[in-house]
Amino acid sequence: MSLLELHAVRKLYGSVAALDGIDLQIPAGSRTAVVGPSGSGKTTLLRLIAGYDAPDSGRLILDGQVLADGPALVPAHLRGIGVVPQDGALFPHISIADNIGFGLARSEPNRTGIIADLMTMVGLDTAMLTRRPDALSGGQQQRVALARALARKPRLMLLDEPFSALDTGLRASTRKAVSDLLSAAGITTILVTHDQAEALSFADQVAVMRAGRLEQIGPPRELYLRPKDAMIAEFLGEAILLPAIAVDGWADSPLGRIALDDKDRTGSVAIMLRPEQLSLNQTSTVGTVSEVDFGGAVCSVTVRLDSGEAIVLRLSCLDAPAVGTRVGLSVSGTAHLFA
């Protein structure tokens, strides 16, 4: 069952279509990540769902309620939607308790207890309630922003790149904590992010946008392994693209004969592999190591194939060959053929 539905939603800024006929279904209780390059329409989409802007045409429906039908719309404060912005947007001059309770009526029964419960829910010590935001770390501030959004018991939560300002380690732990919390609460969530790894790990549905359109929607694993085209393949992670000749479910390529995920196509094709599908072997050689970049546990090893293409592998630095070494390559799994 879909909690949120968008039908043929369009939004123009002058002659530019920021959103050009968006159709999207968000299942109840799901986590959806919206990704795409800058200017693809991600933020505009979130603003229309939140109620900050109105579409020029199309309909938005939340749990059976029409939120927008063209320019006619339900105001943002009446939608029952929580929003956590990129910077948290906490009020710096008031306490954490007052920030969390901002959306609660002063007459709310047990208001103090609700605020304390929300603080505990997001994994923070209630002793912090008397502090102001500048006394908290970035990750703690984002959790307070989440608690403030949860205070109004939203039907839908919108996360607008909420982890982007955090350092790498803190971003991963905060994302995991927020994901677990929203899942436990059963709150349908939409995350807008420019971080592909974040989208793939957080969501159970990923939507890729390009030039105001939704190009592909599906489970993270499906999009990662079977992207619609080369742009999506490279946007969602490192991709190795090679020319090949397809025959009877096999591809004759610069890496040798590789099994394909499409047994019906024949002729000249482009195939995609992910770097983690490749490993070194010495059975036969197909290229020469031209560059090795040390990265701690994992090294980037560039191999110049005899056919001229350069591909990059991710290998343990303990096993990385020296520059100039002749190597062979083995492929695990199947190569993907673009539709």
- Residues 199 and 305 reside in one and the same domain: no
212 with 20: CB under 8 angstroms? yes
- Residues 173 and 25 reside in one and the same domain: yes
- Residues 114 and 246 reside in one and the same domain: no
- Residues 155 and 192 reside in one and the same domain: yes
- Residues 133 and 280 reside in one and the same domain: no
Question: Domain end: 231, 258, 286, which one?
Answer: 231
CATH of the domain at 244: 2.40.50.100
CATH of the domain at 30: 3.40.50.300
Question: Domain end: 231, 254, 284, which one?
Answer: 231
The per-residue pLDDT for 56 is: 95
Distance of alpha carbon 139 from alpha carbon 125, whole angstroms: 13
Question: Domain end: 204, 231, 258, which one?
Answer: 231
- Residues 169 and 296 reside in one and the same domain: no
Distance of alpha carbon 95 from alpha carbon 143, whole angstroms: 14
- Radius of gyration of the chain from its Cα atoms, rounded to whole angstroms: 24
**Helix residue ranges per DSSP H, the chain:** 42-50, 96-100, 111-121, 138-150, 168-185, 196-202, 220-225, 230-235
Q: Find the domain containing 95 and state its range.
A: 2-231
How many other β-carbons are positioned within 10 Å of the β-carbon of residue 59?
A: 16
Distance of alpha carbon 119 from alpha carbon 100, whole angstroms: 8
- Residues 258 and 134 reside in one and the same domain: no
- Residues 61 and 185 reside in one and the same domain: yes
The per-residue pLDDT for 88 is: 67
23: DSSP letter: E
- Residues 278 and 190 reside in one and the same domain: no
- Residues 76 and 220 reside in one and the same domain: yes
Long-range CB pairs of 62-69 (<8 Å, 24+ gap) are 62/3, 62/4, 62/155, 62/156, 63/3, 63/4, 63/28, 63/155
Instruction: Show pLDDT as tens, one digit a residue, over the chain (339 residues).
Output: 789 999 999 999 998 999 999 999 999 999 999 999 888 999 999 999 999 999 999 999 999 999 999 989 999 989 989 888 877 678 889 999 989 988 787 878 888 888 998 888 888 889 999 999 888 888 788 888 888 888 888 899 999 887 776 777 777 777 888 888 888 888 899 999 888 888 998 899 999 999 999 999 999 999 999 999 999 999 999 999 999 999 999 999 999 899 999 888 899 999 999 998 998 887 788 899 999 999 888 889 999 999 999 999 888 888 889 999 999 998 999 999 986
pTM of the model: 0.86
- Residues 198 and 244 reside in one and the same domain: no
The total domain count for the chain is 2
Minimal CA–CA distance to 186: which of 145, 211, 149, 153?
A: 153
- Residues 223 and 253 reside in one and the same domain: no
